[in-house]
Chains A and B, each alone.
Chain A
Amino acid sequence: MIEILARDGLAREMKWTHDGQSLHSPNLLFLRSRGLLHFGRGDGFLSADGAVEGKFTLFSGGSWFLERPMAASSPLPPSSPVIPAFPNIPAGLEAAPGEAYAASLQGFRASGGPVLPVTGEYPPDLASNGAELLVYAGALEHSFRPRQFAEELVRLKEAAGYGRLVYAPGLGEPAHLSFLAYCGIDLFDSAPLLAAARRGHKLLPGWRADATEKGVCHCPACEGGGEGPETVYMHNCYAALSEVRLVRSAIRGGRLRELVENRLSDAWQVAALRHLDLRHYEFCERFFPVARPASAGMRALGRASLTRPEIARFQRRVLERYRRPPSAPVLLLLPCSARKPYSSSLSHRSFRGQIDRLGNPGAVHEVVVTSPLGVVPMELQSFYPAGSYDIPVSGDWDETEIRVLRDQLARFISAGRYSGVVCHLSGMDFLGGALPPTAVSTGGARATSHSSLEDMGRALAGLLEGMPKVGRRKADAERIASLSRFQFGPGGEALAECCEVQRRGNDRRVTDGRRTQLALLQHERGLLSLTMDGARRLLGRTGYEVEIGDFRPSGTVFMPGVLSAGRDIRPGDEVLVTHAGALRGVGVALMSSSEMERAKKGGAVRMRHHLSTKGGGE
């Protein structure tokens, strides 16, 4: 039985229980065979000679070519998970043997064991058969060719679904564990730890030290002294074990991508990550949450961060979904601030003060220009990752960042059809080409200096001259409409019709103007949380609906209850729960719609409001 404990992108923390033993994944299977070095401190084992007492054990042995089943000398507990002996023949090889053992695997699969090797052409029933562990036989070979690795991974995940374990034989160096888990691989083994030990490589996450070098580590093996292969193997096992625990912690905390980027130390990993980001965005993006806790604020520190799926998604949605507030035709481009939300920072408070002094703030559209997100309209400032990200600020920009910023800004300005543009940025002259010729630059050497602020005031005043004053209620409602459309896609703006917004610190309470609350925007969550009344306004208008069977949802809606789900739903999204087109409640999606389509169990939506409750506040 498999239980999913936590998700982060394609990665899962899972608990696999079999015959009374359980194993938490991601994890390593330590190899156990009489003639091999033995490391006994792990949680899971891959054994060629009998069960490891009290530990989760998978079994391996025999030979397909020699037509030899597992040794009779190792009696197995009933219904043990056994990895069949099959030759590792890669997909796509023109040689015929691919078919060879496909036939021999038929028999194995028919036996209904929990383990299924997959290689070459997948069996047509892969999605539906009962196997709990898939052995991704070509993983090690594919890792030598990053493009193929990324392609095969997507193929495997799409074919196999997202709720069972995948084992990648021969992979498991500490430096690779976070990346492999990020790819949705759950089990690894100690073979690479052994091979490295034989070659005198002491492995650490992201580092390879020479076995003869003293004092690089204080794990129990290294503290014991010695530099022979035995000591080094034990060290490698300890290092992998603590890394895999860190990986599980990162998945639980929603910070796996940060750990992955921290550990990038081999070229193939960097290349494979790039392939996934750039060439398989459509597939990967679906699994990344739209909101994360503040503790998992995004650290976009290096080049690898620039192509994160959440960043790419934010950029795309700004261009594809977003519409500016109609009454704000004057665009004011502002720099980002270290403090989030931007509006709480000292610099932005002084910008805001300057805008307010002009008497028509509703006509000014404040938009932050920032790397790596591109452009962030101020009303989206709490939306992940805009609401909590950290970037190194040194005033240096690399070509990719510049290109993305320039492109994003040019397209944004052109779509917004602004009547005037004030560019209050400093040190970003490279953006010049993206601005219309009439744009006024006021940032100067320092955007917060008294003279720069005065310049900005003058420029804005000139553009605002003669414009009708936009009332505060209208300005607020338009900004909520823009945010709602960004969150729910076209149709989302229906939420904000004739609404009224009350500010409470960084939060916004959205009502219908007659005391009925429609939604709450909390900076911490960054998304609009709907009430039943708010949800009614969106019913039938967006792709954020989960259709359930005929029951009254409360608590959590579990998988068998879900009939269908809107394509755009991502983990963390606000969703309407419906039956036969009627609203049954509102909640937070726990998985993406792709996963809802495939999963047979597990929580799909955590309900916030449902029919029997009054759709009041939180």
Chain B
Amino acid sequence: MNAIPLVLYAAAAIVYAVHFAKRQPAIGRMATTLLLLAVLSHTFVIGMQTMEVRHVPFASRSHAISTFVWLLALSYIYLEVTTDERAMGVFILPIAVGLQMIPAFSPGIENADPVLDSPWFWVHLLSLMFSYATFALAGMLGLTYMLQFKEIKKKHLGYFYARLPSLHVLDAMNSRAVIVGWLFLTIGVVVGVVWTAQARALAPGNSNLQAMSLNDPKILIALLTWAVYAFEVFARSTMGWTGRRAAWLSAVGFVIVLLNFLPVSYFVTTSHTFQ
């Protein structure tokens, strides 16, 4: 069922790329329309799964990734609508397409541990998912900032110069994305800790819950992520780390997030396996 959004995301990605190359407003509107259709169909898919299992699908990796892609697309649409800038689509959509392939080609079975059925857990999960989506945006904004910066600095005004938004706009968007993401990351981590303590009391024998500690790479890397973004927020306001430095941090931060989200979740973690 995840194949329909995948096809629409892929179509949108292609049209965003054409729009980026040709810069014609009509093509840009077509790209946005396709993306809206993709999100709509994706919402429908996730809605169906939610009704079926009575919670937002997350327990299999595939479902978690699908939900993440959905949040990423929503966050991007928000960015596009509020800034009236379509140039970023060509950088964001490939991430959505790449990740959406996983649920489309290997649909998981949603069989969540009953211990997870707690409102705290949902706050924890959705906060973190949303923060990762905004970090994805920030990472791509950072990347494009560096591309634009390099062309202006080297006095070689080429392909990207003509197409990307101004440095100021990229920096401002990046800053906003990082602050929002960091706030939700903080909420997600704190709520996770609180919920673990409660859940341990309720289900003492649960091996997942027992494994929740800094020894688990997933948790350790999540805290590292938190530290990187905390530093970015702090350094921007007090040390003048704006522009290129902030762009770098955002890109590096997102690489860590992606590592944690995919390989670490699949192969390494002992605590965050929910079925």
Chain A complexes with chain B: no
